Amino acid sequence: MNEENVKIAKIKKSCRVGKIVSIVLFAVFAVLAVVCLAGGIKIWNMGKEFDDMINSATLSGVVSSSDEFGTAGAVSINMGSVPVNMHSDIPAVQAAIDDHPIAVVWSTWILSSSLFTAIGAVIFLLLGSVFSTIAKEATPFTAKVKKRVTTSLIITSVILFLTSGTAYGAICLVVTWVVNAILNYGMTLQVQADETL
């Protein structure tokens, strides 16, 4: 086995490991997304009952609504504070805010967490597909690998732009551009290497 084949074998091995890790992380994030979705829906449906439970737990000292950190109790949950000036132009939502504001805030927060963990699951799924493609190809410098890597990075850039902000999306787009240029150069070198053999 020559030096080039040894290096390609190492790349394939690392990509197989990367694929396994990506699949595990995809599964964890997918389960978290489902749990958050179910929890958010449950809290929303509980409505006033959830608010009553939280208020009762606050009075008994199990739950705190202050911004303190750490307590001496066995179990302490900091629920944070509920904004007092929440408003919605949708009458049904405003009625829910007026009736059970804690349930509205927490169900919205948990449902949003569900969305973000689902997005994380999609990113890990894309990453796993990149590792899988690289592991299957004879060399990492093929048009198929380049297309998969570039497509995955563009999708990740768009997701970051929409969820984390312009700066993260822009940085990921620059990374996409640089990786694309590196893969183009690698493909050129691979063609030259193949022609000399």
Mean pLDDT by 10 residues, the chain (197 residues): 81 92 96 96 93 85 60 49 74 86 88 92 91 88 90 89 86 93 90 79
Question: How does DSSP classify residue 89?
Answer: S
How many structural domains comprise the chain?
Answer: 1
Cα distance between residue 157 and residue 82, in whole Å: 33
pLDDT of 61:
72
Q: Which amino acid is at 58?
A: T
Is 118 part of any domain? yes
Whole-model pTM: value is 0.76
pLDDT of 90:
87
Is 89 part of any domain? yes
Q: Which amino acid is at 34?
A: V
Task: Give percent helix, percent strand, percent coil of the chain, each to the nearest 5.
Answer: 80, 0, 20
Is 155 part of any domain? no
CB 139 within 8 A of CB 8: yes
Q: What residues contact residue 18 under an 8 Å CB cut-off, 6+ apart?
A: 127, 128, 131
Q: What residues contact residue 139 under an 8 Å CB cut-off, 6+ apart?
A: 8, 190
Residues of the domain holding 117: 22-128
Is 4 part of any domain? no
Is 160 part of any domain? no
pLDDT of 17:
94
Is 70 part of any domain? yes
- Residue 63: left if φ>0, alpha if ψ -120 to 50, beta else—which one? beta
Is 145 part of any domain? no
Is 82 part of any domain? yes
Characterize the bridge pairing of strands 77-78 and 63-64.
Answer: parallel
Cα distance between residue 158 and residue 117, in whole Å: 16
